[in-house]
Amino acid sequence: MTDRTAAVPDGAVQRTTGDLTRAAVSGWLGTAMEFMDFQLYSLAAAIVFNKIFFPDVSPAIGLIAAMATYGVGYVARLAGAVYFGRMGDRIGRKKVLFLTISLMGVSTTLIGVLPPYHLIGIAAPMLLVVLRLAQGFGAGAEIAGATVMLAEYAPVKRRGFIASLTSLGTNSGTLAASGLWAVLISVLSEQQLLSWGWRLPFLLSLVLLVLGLWMRSNLRESPVFEERPDVVNGVALSREEIDGSLEEGLKQRKGKAFLLALGLRFGQAGNSGLVQTFLVGYIATNLLVAKSVPTTAIVYGSVLGFATVPVVGHLGDRFGRRPLYLALTALTIVLAVPMMATIASGHTAALVVAMVVGLNISVLGLFSLESVTMAELFGARTRFTQLAVAKEIGGMLATAIGPVLAATLTAVTGHWWPIAAMLIAYSLITLVSAYFSPETRGRDLVRLEDAA
């Protein structure tokens, strides 16, 4: 990279270093907002929503119901991935990213003004679900779009490192949300938290929305999208408009790369739902440990993640994506049982260390790789759509269903072993997918065909 221009893959349109910086900050900010919004919601679902929106049931059933409202957002995310992903491949990344951050941010802010169950009855959880659906619909293509945009901007030899900045956005959002909740739990009484304190994080997200809209309005389109041979005047040609020379690049049968990407996504998504969402409620409700302990562990883990994410991204650039995937998933499998046994012991210091290690290896490390590998697996013509749909199907099957299933299994068995078994199962799926995946490091992202 020079002082004036950012090196890009051969054949791509040149962008200045300032353009790359704006793309990186925009991607980081939008992803931070998405994960802050979702972590705010997931922690609220684990800590207070069962009492605010589902007060007439037992604590265990209330936790299951609150986790279910957390899960419905992933159904909407899939619909958003299909809708906005196709739009992003057709008219460009920038326009779609502006729409997704708007819908996501407005929905999150409105959650903060919802009346509780005791004021409007069943309408309260119904409105919560509606806003959760709207939030999910916008978020369905946010991180996929940010990932695609940054990967298509990045210099080939540093693509993994630069694309990992979207993962730092997830880390920043998770840290901000967890930090806000940790402060609220520490300084507010139970009555204050349930009456008005829980609203503050949702209302404060409006600041990020305004900043994100300003950043996205000043962002230039992806150079790879503009260089695509099937894009004319900023819009992709239809099948009928493509000539014979381009048709050769589109004859590849779709499906293999998508299935591999789905498998790579499954481990990270499932582990995230268990470590960052379910364990917070489980530790407080089932182990009767102070609520501040797991939220503090997430904060510490997120802080460490600021080193983990770029280091993994750099190692992926140096040694390849596939070896890192194999190493991290194998390590997660080995550590799953001792990690859960340590957490179940209830000893505060050991519990915090176990959650920090689990978060960085099984969630953040994998997410750093996922940011670039899934983008490299797909061809330029359908990259946004396939990446977004693969992410959201994986999220819906693993992250959304996982906490509900874990809550049910631990309630039935009265033990922690189902959580360890789920961590192992999720990671095995990604391990097998990584084994059968091609190495994508250095791939030309302007190519129209998939890598597999």
Tens digit of pLDDT for each residue in 238-258?
766 665 545 555 566 678 999
Strongest mean pLDDT among 15-19, 98-102, 168-172, 423-427: 423-427
Q: In the predicted model, what is the mean pLDDT of residues 16-36?
A: 83
Task: Provide the pairing of β-strand 5-6 with 231-232.
Answer: unpaired
pLDDT band at 7 (very low <50, low <70, confident <90, very high): very low
Would you say residue 174 has pLDDT above 50? yes
Q: Which residue has the higher pLDDT, 339 or 228?
A: 339
Would you say residue 279 has pLDDT above 60? yes
State the Cα–Cα distance between residues 408 and 419, nearest whole angstrom.
Answer: 11
* Torsion angle (degrees, nearest 10) of CA 398, 430, 321, 80: -30
Say what the pLDDT of residue 67 is.
Answer: 60
Is residue 33 included in any domain, yes or no? yes
CA distances from 417 to 109, 277, 336, 356 (A): 37, 17, 10, 19
CA nearest 85: which of 241, 276, 236, 287? 236
Say what the pLDDT of residue 176 is.
Answer: 83
CA distances from 272 to 35, 91, 255, 425, 427 (A): 12, 32, 25, 13, 11
pLDDT band at 6 (very low <50, low <70, confident <90, very high): very low
* Runs of H (alpha helix) within 92-158: 93-111, 117-120, 123-139, 142-153
pLDDT band at 263 (very low <50, low <70, confident <90, very high): very high
> Does residue 429 sit in helix, strand or coil?
helix
Q: Which residue has the higher pLDDT, 45 or 132?
A: 132
Say what the pLDDT of residue 10 is.
Answer: 46
For the chain, what is the radius of gyration of the CA atoms? 21
Say what the pLDDT of residue 64 is.
Answer: 64
* Torsion angle (degrees, nearest 10) of CA 373, 374, 379, 385: -160
What DSSP character marks residue 451?
-
> Does residue 371 sit in helix, strand or coil?
helix
Say what the pLDDT of residue 58 is.
Answer: 60
Q: Which of 38-52, 98-112, 381-395 has the lowest mean pLDDT?
A: 38-52
Would you say residue 268 has pLDDT above 70? yes
> Does residue 53 sit in helix, strand or coil?
coil
State the Cα–Cα distance between residues 367 and 394, nearest whole angstrom.
Answer: 13
Percent of the chain with pLDDT over 90: 31
**pLDDT digit string, tens, across residues 296-325:** 888 899 889 999 999 999 999 999 999 999
CA distances from 189 to 34, 53, 107, 126, 428 (A): 28, 19, 27, 27, 42
State the Cα–Cα distance between residues 244 and 384, nearest whole angstrom.
Answer: 24
Q: In the predicted model, what is the mean pLDDT of residues 192-207?
A: 85
Say what the pLDDT of residue 69 is.
Answer: 63
Fill in the amino acid letter for 289. V
Say what the pLDDT of residue 322 is.
Answer: 96
Write the CB contacts of 387 (distance below 8 Å, at least 6 apart in sequence): 85, 144, 147, 148, 261, 374, 375, 378
Per DSSP, what are the bridge partners of residue 232?
Answer: 235
State the Cα–Cα distance between residues 246 and 243, nearest whole angstrom.
Answer: 6
pLDDT band at 262 (very low <50, low <70, confident <90, very high): very high
Residue 28 has a CB neighbour count (10 Å cut-off) of 22
Domain span holding position 177: 15-228+253-436
Q: What are phi and psi of 440, to 5 degrees?
A: -105, -5
**pLDDT digit string, tens, across residues 45-91:** 777 777 777 666 566 665 666 666 666 777 788 899 999 999 999 89
pLDDT band at 340 (very low <50, low <70, confident <90, very high): very high
Is residue 442 included in any domain, yes or no? no
Query: What rounded mean pLDDT belongs to the chain?
Result: 84
Could you give the angle at which helices 321-344 and 366-377 cross, rounded to 10 degrees? 150
Q: In the predicted model, what is the mean pLDDT of residues 379-400?
A: 87
Is residue 449 included in any domain, yes or no? no
- Structural domains in the chain (count): 1
Task: Provide the pairing of β-strand 235-236 with 231-232.
Answer: antiparallel
Q: In the predicted model, what is the mean pLDDT of residues 205-228?
A: 86
Say what the pLDDT of residue 57 is.
Answer: 57
Say what the pLDDT of residue 247 is.
Answer: 58
Output the six-digit token pair for 274: 């268990």
Which CATH number does the domain housing residue 214 bear? 1.20.1250.20
Say what the pLDDT of residue 160 is.
Answer: 93
Would you say residue 365 has pLDDT above 90? yes
Is residue 7 included in any domain, yes or no? no
Query: Taking a C-beta distance cutoff of 8 angstroms, is the pair 402, 282 a contact?
Result: no
Say what the pLDDT of residue 61 is.
Answer: 61
Say what the pLDDT of residue 308 is.
Answer: 94
Would you say residue 345 has pLDDT above 60? yes
Is residue 432 included in any domain, yes or no? yes
State the Cα–Cα distance between residues 98 and 30, nearest whole angstrom.
Answer: 9
Is residue 215 included in any domain, yes or no? yes
Say what the pLDDT of residue 377 is.
Answer: 95
State the Cα–Cα distance between residues 278 and 292, nearest whole angstrom.
Answer: 15
Would you say residue 180 has pLDDT above 80? yes
pLDDT band at 28 (very low <50, low <70, confident <90, very high): confident
Say what the pLDDT of residue 3 is.
Answer: 35
